[in-house]
């Protein structure tokens, strides 16, 4: 029996799904959505807040402010509520309505950016707004997940060791690239592990994180319009880019197998399966990470009209259509 007093004390960290029965290729999917924040972002949120408290930046009366596409905002809302802090999430119009309502239900304020920056897109516009808030009121404390080393250290200390313990013969690890916190924490850990592990980053087409041309991205979570400061490509062995339409197909295929995951999971699964097929690697031990579950995407990825309106009516075949 587990008994907790604050929500961040609970996180299921040992659940994996073998996707062979759905995709015909063994790929172990680490499920990170079973906590009260509903995503892997709980780990980074907890460590960034703890570090800010320890160094004195965050104290009674402070207002936490962060730019987030959604999941980190929910995690910070939850922890802020449990600790008695005010929290303001700066997001943009692509953030799921369910996610916004969750943050507000937890007592947080949500500011929605509706116009992208001419150069850096919505992310740059969000960051510019956060900076203006900090300049106007010293109570605002910006955790800055894009440059905060505690973002990747959270996964260096928890996510990567958990995978290593579960799969001591791991050959390849696929990690989605958003802020690159999970990617950098895992890549740094396995870079110095006792045996070689190939770390493959999975990014969305249209993201500039690894130097690609900017493009439209409608699924929140992976990809950026401004390169994160914490990214160090020397730890990454390879990068795979995935079209959003392929990510949606993977989500629906998972749903047809009874597993409802979010858009980031569809992206990394699609990229991993393509990589494994290209490398003819049926014997490799391969793991990837599902950052969250699919309930927050019922009005987007799993809503047929939304999908058809953005990607065309032929994007989903009979084998993928789940709604």
The Cα-based distances of 141 to 26, 134, 207, 241 in angstroms read: 44, 7, 27, 34
Question: pLDDT tens digit string along 161-196?
Answer: 999 999 999 999 999 999 999 999 999 999 999 899
pLDDT at 88 over 80: yes
pLDDT tens, residue by residue, 272-311 = 999 999 998 788 999 999 999 999 999 999 999 999 999 9
Helices H / strands E in the chain, number of each: 11, 10
According to the model, what pLDDT value does residue 1 have? Answer: 85
Give 107's contacts (C-beta < 8 A, 6+ positions apart): 77, 80, 81, 87
Q: What is the pTM of this model?
A: 0.94
The CATH classification of domain 7-34+151-307, taken from the options 3.40.50.1100, 3.40.47.10, 3.30.310.50, 3.40.720.10:
3.40.50.1100
Which part of the chain is CATH 3.40.50.1100? Answer: 7-34+151-307, 41-142
Question: What is the average pLDDT across 65-79?
Answer: 96
Q: Is the per-residue pLDDT at 19 higher than 50?
A: yes
Q: In this predicted structure, what is the pLDDT of residue 318? A: 60
User: Pick the residue with more confidence: 267 or 224?
Assistant: 267
To 10 degrees, what angle do helices 41-54 and 71-83 make? 50
Rounded CA-CA distance 318/85 in Å is 48
Q: Is the per-residue pLDDT at 97 higher than 50?
A: yes
Euclidean distance between CA atoms 51 and 106, whole angstroms: 22
**pLDDT, averaged across the chain:** 95
Query: Domain 41-142 adopts which CATH fold?
Result: Rossmann fold (3.40.50)
Q: Cα–chain-centroid distance for residue 20?
A: 23
> Within a 13 Å sphere around the CA of 48, how many CA atoms are in the beta-carbon half?
27
- Residue 320 pLDDT level (bands cut at 50, 70, 90): low
Q: What is the pLDDT of residue 319?
A: 58
Sign (positive/negative) of CA torsion 202, 206, 208, 210?
positive
Q: Tally the C-alpha atoms within 13 A of residue 229's C-alpha that lie toward its C-beta.
A: 8
Q: What is the pLDDT of residues 191-228, one digit of tens each?
A: 999 899 999 999 999 999 999 999 999 888 899 889 99
Determine the pLDDT at residue 321: 55
When pLDDT is cut at 50, 70 and 90, the band that residue 157 belongs to is very high
Segment 230-235 mean pLDDT: 98
DSSP letter at 294 equals S
């Amino acid at each position: 029996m587990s008994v907790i007093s604050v929500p961040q004390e609970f996180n299921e960290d040992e659940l994996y799904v073998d996707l062979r029965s759905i995709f015909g290729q063994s790929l172990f999917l680490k499920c990170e959505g079973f906590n009260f924040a509903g995503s892997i972002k709980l780990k980074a949120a907890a460590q960034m807040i703890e570090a800010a408290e320890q160094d004195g930046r965050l104290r009674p009366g402070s207002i936490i402010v962060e730019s987030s596409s959604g999941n980190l905002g929910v995690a910070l809302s939850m922890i802020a509520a449990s600790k008695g802090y005010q929290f303001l999430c700066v997001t943009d119009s692509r953030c799921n309505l369910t996610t916004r309502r969750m943050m507000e239900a937890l007592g947080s304020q949500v500011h929605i950016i509706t116009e992208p920056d001419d150069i850096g897109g919505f992310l740059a516009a969000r960051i510019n707004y956060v900076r203006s808030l900090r300049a106007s009121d010293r109570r605002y404390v910006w955790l800055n997940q894009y440059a905060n080393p505690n973002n990747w250290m959270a996964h260096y200390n928890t996510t990567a060791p958990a995978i290593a313990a579960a799969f001591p013969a791991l050959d390849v690890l696929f990690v989605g690239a958003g802020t690159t916190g999970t990617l950098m924490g895992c890549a740094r850990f396995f870079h110095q592990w006792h045996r070689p592990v190939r770390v493959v980053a999975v990014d969305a087409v249209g993201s500039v994180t690894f130097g690609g041309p900017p493009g439209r991205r409608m699924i929140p979570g992976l990809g950026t319009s401004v390169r994160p400061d914490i990214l160090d490509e020397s730890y990454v062995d390879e990068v795979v880019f995935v079209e959003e339409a392929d990510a949606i197909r993977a989500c629906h295929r998972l749903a047809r197998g009874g597993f409802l995951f979010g858009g980031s999971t569809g992206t990394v699964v699609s990229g991993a399966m393509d990589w494994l097929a290209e490398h003819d690697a049926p014997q490799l031990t391969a793991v990837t990470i599902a950052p969250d579950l699919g309930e927050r995407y019922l009005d987007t990825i799993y809503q047929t009209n939304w999908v058809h309106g953005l990607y065309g009516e032929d994007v989903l075949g009979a084998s993928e259509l789940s709604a």
